[in-house]
Amino acid sequence: MSWPSNSPRGLSAEQIAELNRKFESSDAALGIEVSDDFTQFDQLNDMFTRAFWDDTVKSKHTDGFFDSYRMEFAPRRGAGFNQKDFALRNAAWAVSDIISNRGNATGEREGFQSPIANDTPVAPMQVDVEDPQRETAEIKRLAKMFGADLVGITEIDERWHYANRADTRDFTPASNELPEDITHVIVMGHSMDPDLVDTYPSALAGASTGLEYSHEAAIVVQLASYIRNLGYEATASMNDTALVIPYAIKAGLGEYGRNQMVLTPEYGPRVRFSKIFTNLPLVADTPKPLGIRQYCDICTKCASACPPKALPFDEPTDKAENQSTLGHVKKWSADCEKCFGYWAKLKTDCAICMRVCPFNNRGTLKDRIWRRLATSQFRRYALWWSEKQGLPTRLKPNDWWANIGDKPD
């Protein structure tokens, strides 16, 4: 069974061409190349969503994968995959789960297959925003106060919105529309716990992912609620509604890497993103070239370390690997069927390609010197240094547990 990738609900060819013209110069500055035969991606075709309706993905292995998020079905397979590891991972997801499960009856898996429903109404009286620059600075400060690590702002660009969202009652297409007058997207970055990430692959490591979904759920709800209290629209969003990566790049938070992630100067790929769609008058950021992507041109560490060899070794292309890949935009693309197949075997998520990336640093002096080199004309020296160090060693889950026992309160 396969859903049409060119959905009747998506933007028309004329609308795509108009957006390509509108963003021509900013796309060129960011190295984004979108062809005029581009069509929006349909959420029904992403690997997670396919795992619920596509028999070629939905096997007894993937069923076991989702089941393992309930303790009675969590397997026990030794270090990193024991009851305590699954217990911590599943607990880390708990707040995010409360949000995503509350719309089950209406087919809205909030934060994943549909935006987070608004508990706060838009205030009937609207504050005057006389100085959008100052408002932008304030919003960025408040996002950090609520707990975001990174914040950037960009204009709405519907090319990156899903043509349809999935109705999770029966996994059929549903409308993915936002309020009409949305103008900007606030993109926030949430750094992941470095010690937990060092234990990938393991169920224990999955706690680093669950923790940030639970954190970001609270942060987007709080910031959206503040904006709505000012009398403006704000839709709180996690993985739903739109592709986060092009938005994070456009908001100036980092550059796209071979490992399919945005590499930020602060945390490399060890960061997750959330977003808020709003009509609050704000000023978009103007990203500056960072030189990170150019380093990826000469490095293949993530691709070599990926167990199922899902990552590309060659040049970016605009060809789609399979129905879960967005085509007609030039980029590095993964074979995500291979990637998700590996997760299904593990019964937990993987992020080896995040762990081994040399930009995934802890901000030590050595890390900072390496990053300066890697993003300069001396990047080949940085490559030699990174290769000399080899693949970073995985932190053994039992050592992680031993270390937290030793840490002072």
The residues, any chain, with a CB within 8 Å of residue 408's CB and separated by 6 or more, are none
CA-to-CA separations, 135 to 108, 129, 228, 280, 298, in angstroms, rounded: 32, 7, 14, 9, 41
Nearer residue to ligand B12 within complex by CB, 312 or 370: 312
Note whether 174 and 167 are within 8 A (CB).
yes
Instruction: Name which of ligand SF4, ligand B12, none residue 373 binds, using a CB cut-off of 5 to 8 Å depending on partner kind.
Output: none
**48, 81, 93, 146: which one contacts ligand B12 (CB under 6 A)?**
48
Instruction: Tell which positions 362-391 bind ligand B12, by CB under 6 A.
Output: none
47 binds ligand B12 (CB under 6 A): yes
Position of tokens 């795992």?
Answer: 51
Piece in contact with ligand B12 (CB under 6 A), picked from 226-234, 318-326, 371-379, 381-389? 318-326
Nearest to 176 by CA among 239, 96, 101: 239
Helix residue spans in 230-279 (DSSP H): 244-250
329 binds ligand B12 (CB under 6 A): yes
The secondary structure of residue 27, as a DSSP letter, is H
Note whether 200 and 78 are within 8 A (CB).
no
Instruction: Name which of ligand B12, ligand SF4, none residue 357 binds, using a CB cut-off of 5 to 8 Å depending on partner kind.
Output: ligand SF4
39 binds ligand B12 (CB under 6 A): no
Instruction: Name which of ligand SF4, ligand B12, none residue 257 binds, using a CB cut-off of 5 to 8 Å depending on partner kind.
Output: ligand SF4
Q: Helices then strands (H, E): number in the chain? A: 17, 8
Instruction: Tell which positions 228-267 bind ligand B12, by CB under 6 A.
Output: 239, 243-246, 256, 259-262
187 binds ligand B12 (CB under 6 A): no
DSSP string covering 91-129: HHTHHHHHHHHTTGGGT--BTTTBPBPPSSPPPSS----
Smallest separation, CB 45 to ligand SF4 (Å)? 17
CB-hemisphere CA count at 13 Å for 239? 20
Residues lying near ligand B12 in the complex (CB under 6 A):
32, 41, 46-48, 209, 239, 243-246, 256, 259-262, 269, 271-273, 324-326, 329, 331, 333-334, 336, 339-340, 349, 351, 353-354
Residues lying near ligand SF4 in the complex (CB under 6 A):
257-259, 295-296, 299-302, 306-308, 310-311, 334, 339, 342, 350-353, 357-359
